[in-house]
Structure 1
Amino acid sequence: MVTFLSQQRDLYAYLHDQTLRMMNQGLTGAEIAEAMVLPPALEKAWHTRGYYGSVSHNVKAIYQRYMGWYDGNPAHLWQHPPVEAGRRYVKAMGGADAVVEQARAAVDEGDLRWAAEILSHVVFAEPGHDVARELLADTFEQLGYGSENGTWRSVYLSGATELRHGTFGTPTVTASPDIVANLSPEMLFDAVAVRVDGPRCWDERLTLDVRFSDAPGRYRLQLANGVLTYSTADRPDPADARMTLPREALSALAGGATADALAEAGAQLDGDDTVLTRLFAALDVPDPDFAIVTP
């Protein structure tokens, strides 16, 4: 047991320290991940293998923790987004069909990483190119089968599924009643704030005081400049509306429930009765089914 724990400690310490050492030599995250070699004693230990996660993945995460996304190369400072970059790469490489042929050659040579990279450009440049989609799906599938760690394998195989059958969403439900019921008011207000569609409500301005009928605390919510903020500080100016509700009903507010639903949950609203309608109108609806490997 002592050996197990000490080797786990040494593994993460080694990855961290060697990543920083190579950072100080000017290597980027991808370069460090490619150059990282574990000591033989750690490489051979079964419990340090990448069954979940990988050395490559963890090294890039360490790099990002300290350096952020930018690797110092000015060419990477203001790159085109995937669709525009894909169109330019495909054009420069002689068109979609030519890129597919180069990808086939790369697959035959065992260079699946390069095949995936250039085929991804074709799929983003020409989403309807069925041959490219199928070859990229095959490539992801082979990369998945060859992945030792389960997370990479799942991601590769998920990419292949999306290319062949379309997006399939996520089975994870983070807004289940049990989870929401245990969130603090601050967490729930933060959850509402990240749903605000800023450009839609640049000119909107409203304030709402929220009090609990069965718990201490008062919060002033303010929507202005496309941003929803909250504060517990006393304010001399009155809010546009004041809402009193049971603590357990706050999750309905965070979920964007209608005014009628909030009333059914025990909420009472005084003041401008349009405040809730205007607030909910500013919220965006999350999409749990967004695409990953297609535009």
Structure 2
Amino acid sequence: MKKSQLLLSMGLAAALFALSSCAGGRSDVNLDATVKEAGKATADKNETVCAALDFSDEQEKTFAEKGLIAAPETLELKDKNGKVVWSQKAYAFVENAEAPDTVNPSLWRNTQLNHLYGLFEVTDGIYQVRGYDMTNITFIRGNAGWIVFDPLMSTECSAAAMQLVNESLGERPVTAVVMSHPHVDHYGGIKGIISEEEVISRAIPIIVPEGFEEHAVSENVYAGNAMGRRAGYQYGTFLDKSATGSLSIGIGMGQSTGTVSYISPNDTIKQTGETRTIDGVTMEFQLTPGTEAPVEMNTWFADKKALWIAENCTGTLHNLYTLRGAQIRDGNAWAEYIMEALTRYGKDAEVVFQSHNWPHWGNDVISSYLKNTAAMYKFINDQTLMYINQGYTSDEISNMITLPESLEKNWYTRQYYGTVAHNAKAVYQKYMGWYDANPVNLNPLTPSDSAKKYVEYMGDTNEVLKKAKADFDRGEYQWVAEITNVLVFADPDNKDARFLCADALEQLGYQAESGTWRNAYLSGARELREGTTTDAAFKANSSADLKKSMTPEMMMDYMGILTDSNAAQNLNLKINLNFTDTDPYLLCVDSGVLLYQKGVQANDADATLTLPRVAMFAILNKDEDQQKNAIKIEGDQDILKKLTEHMVTFEYFFNIVEP
């Protein structure tokens, strides 16, 4: 497709986009498993969004379209087995003019903008492929090749993006890779653009902020099973792409489900102001720890007056706490590092570009963009602390706090990904923890136990459902979801409770401006109607690359996580680990608790294991054949059986909206 044809096509889409409107409607309460239309309360609430926001302000749309070079007519990527791992084709329905009642019109607009995919020029020598995964992949032209920033989540996606660049701009080798932070959507596709053999043979720098690998492992391995399952709710991976299903999440269309890879970095940035000149391109790095990730960095291209702001600015409100689970982020530090970037580079910057969404051009625009984004995180941090010091609890604060009107009006500070409500809870968690100081909540019953007592006290379940139906008709969807979920946890076979809870969650999803909230609500509704999802096709094809990079300490920490210490409380072991390729360790199991010491060996050990570091995976995976082939045991020959006897296997598709 020629560029002129693309622009003409985009012009038509823009004309349709400008006609977007909201309509009214409602449906009755039918307690069955069908997907429902928007109720009157939902239609009315979405209508108020049309009146409250300036849909004639098209600066963000102009920036989203700017610099388009090439794009395929349709985009749908598959893995080697034919599974669709990424699709823009599935979102073709958003090209229609009208925002339906089942979608918050602000989120509909954001979805239309995220549906603008292809290869774009940011400025001379800097290009991005956007809309090929949740993340952007960026190509900086050097003298001989490409310096690639954040190579997406899946290898299938990054390989397709690289192919588009090669076809449009000419084939050039990768001369360096920069990974701004250790979230999987910023490194998982690296083997789609380069191999480990090439990195070694051509001495290709892989540049990261200090602490990158440690945090990549701690987030994606230690709690990886639970995060992966919860990410399915956040990203709507098992929802249909439709006006009653999954839309954009503010930082892209969602999560690709292709092959995740990893190559260990070989060049670490340790302080702000460090520079690298690679392939004729000079880069200055600014470390921003504790912001969107535990370690992260921005990059300044002085020759091009271009600031790569990583994921510290994203054209939307981001997360101080992400729904899939992660360490709490520091809103105050986030604001300070953005302001530091403004101080260091703001007076010269002519373009700011980032790992999600589109760039922003013009020095005045950039100054406002950085300041307003910083103000958003600073406001949530400070206002929450003000309320905390007045004695308000987390739930109270989340229902009280709203952004100032000046920030509410900016399209790039809208709540498409994070929300003010759950980010305020993150600030509460950071400073005060889970406890609200009410001793009633020190050690509450489990949800199932408390639900059974609620039902016992309420008496007639049918009467509760009758009242809940009436509240549903009045549009009190949050309360209906809460009370019917109590009934579900008391009796998961109560179909009327499941269906009414699903209907209430569905309406909340239709109202949500946040794509992640919409996905979570609709995913809960689907599982209440159909049961917990168990289709492995909804999981990413995670490779062993990240685990292979784990240090002995990380592997022993993970072994401790896998061990059911209560079941193993009578187990006491002392094992010398004599690694052939790294330092020795003493591994102890004391009353079922796994501990270790580096550089220590015990004369009274139950056994001594001689093994290469990677053979630890044979222990973690309980692979007896590999253990026999790779590990030499002196002493107790049954030591590995004893060590692994109480190691559990994690079930990925655990229940969320039911016990």
Which bin holds the TM-score, normalised by the shorter protein?
over 0.9
1:29 Cα deviation from its structure 2 partner? 0.8
Structure 2 counterpart SS, 1:65: helix
Structure 1 counterpart SS, 2:594: strand
Q: Is the 8 A contact 1:192 1:255 kept in 2?
A: no
Count of residues paired in the alignment: 292
Match of 1:77 among 442, 456, 460: 442
Question: How far apart in 2 are the matches of 1:55 and 1:131?
Answer: 33
Amino acid aligned to 1:271? G
Matched residue, 1:42: 407
Matched residue, 1:100: 465
Question: How far apart in 2 are the matches of 1:6 and 1:158?
Answer: 35
Matched residue, 1:160: 525
Q: Is the 8 A contact 2:588 2:594 kept in 1?
A: yes
Question: How far apart in 2 are the matches of 1:190 and 1:106?
Answer: 49
Question: How far apart in 1 are the matches of 2:381 and 2:463?
Answer: 42
Amino acid aligned to 1:186? E
Match of 2:553 among 170, 177, 186: 186
State yes or no: 1:59 paired with 2:424: yes
Q: Is the 8 A contact 1:211 1:217 kept in 2?
A: yes
Question: How far apart in 2 are the matches of 1:100 and 1:238?
Answer: 65
Question: How far apart in 2 are the matches of 1:75 and 1:245?
Answer: 52
Question: How far apart in 2 are the matches of 1:95 and 1:42?
Answer: 48
More deviation, 124-133/171-180: 171-180
Matched residue, 2:616: 250
Match of 2:641 among 273, 277, 288: 277
State yes or no: 1:196 paired with 2:563: yes
Question: How far apart in 2 are the matches of 1:252 and 1:238?
Answer: 25
Question: How far apart in 2 are the matches of 1:207 and 1:166?
Answer: 45
Q: Is the 8 A contact 2:585 2:598 kept in 1?
A: yes
- Structure with bigger strand share is 2
Q: How does 1:113-124 map to 2 (within 5 A)?
A: 113-124=478-489
Q: RMSD of the alignment, in Å? A: 1.7
Match of 1:240 among 597, 606, 622: 606
Question: How far apart in 1 are the matches of 2:510 and 2:578?
Answer: 54
More deviation, 153-162/57-66: 153-162
1:233-267 residue CA offsets vs partner (Å, 9 max, x unmatched):
52443321111222232233233332x22233x22
State yes or no: 1:226 paired with 2:621: no
Structure 2 counterpart SS, 1:66: helix
Q: Is the 8 A contact 1:208 1:222 kept in 2?
A: yes
Change (3 A) 1:174 1:72: farther
1:65-117 residue CA offsets vs partner (Å, 9 max, x unmatched):
11111101122223221111111212222322122112111211111110011
State yes or no: 1:90 paired with 2:90: no
Match of 1:14 among 366, 371, 379: 379
Q: Is the 8 A contact 1:90 1:99 kept in 2?
A: no
Identity %: 39
Structure 2 counterpart SS, 1:198: coil
Q: How does 1:263-274 map to 2 (within 5 A)?
A: 263-264=628-629, 266-274=630-638
Structure 2 counterpart SS, 1:114: helix
Question: How far apart in 2 are the matches of 1:126 and 1:221?
Answer: 45
Structure 1 counterpart SS, 2:578: strand
Question: How far apart in 2 are the matches of 1:236 and 1:198?
Answer: 23
Q: Is the 8 A contact 2:572 2:588 kept in 1?
A: yes
More deviation, 118-127/217-226: 217-226
Question: How far apart in 1 are the matches of 2:540 and 2:433?
Answer: 29
Amino acid aligned to 1:226? G
Question: How far apart in 1 are the matches of 2:442 and 2:542?
Answer: 36
Match of 2:582 among 199, 211, 216: 216
Change (3 A) 1:235 1:98: same
Q: Is the 8 A contact 2:619 2:640 kept in 1?
A: no
Q: Is the 8 A contact 1:245 1:267 kept in 2?
A: yes
Matched residue, 1:176: 543
1:131 Cα deviation from its structure 2 partner? 0.7
Amino acid aligned to 2:621? G
Amino acid aligned to 1:287? E
TM-score of the superposed pair, with normalisation by structure 1: 0.93
Question: How far apart in 2 are the matches of 1:108 and 1:273?
Answer: 68
Structure 2 counterpart SS, 1:228: strand
Change (3 A) 1:250 1:174: farther
State yes or no: 1:293 paired with 2:657: yes
1:264-287 residue CA offsets vs partner (Å, 9 max, x unmatched):
3x2222211111001110111111
Matched residue, 2:497: 132
1:193-241 residue CA offsets vs partner (Å, 9 max, x unmatched):
011112221111112222222x221111111212111111524433211
1:155 Cα deviation from its structure 2 partner? 1.3
Q: Is the 8 A contact 2:576 2:601 kept in 1?
A: no
TM-score of the superposed pair, with normalisation by structure 2: 0.43
Change (3 A) 1:68 1:174: farther
Structure 1 counterpart SS, 2:562: coil
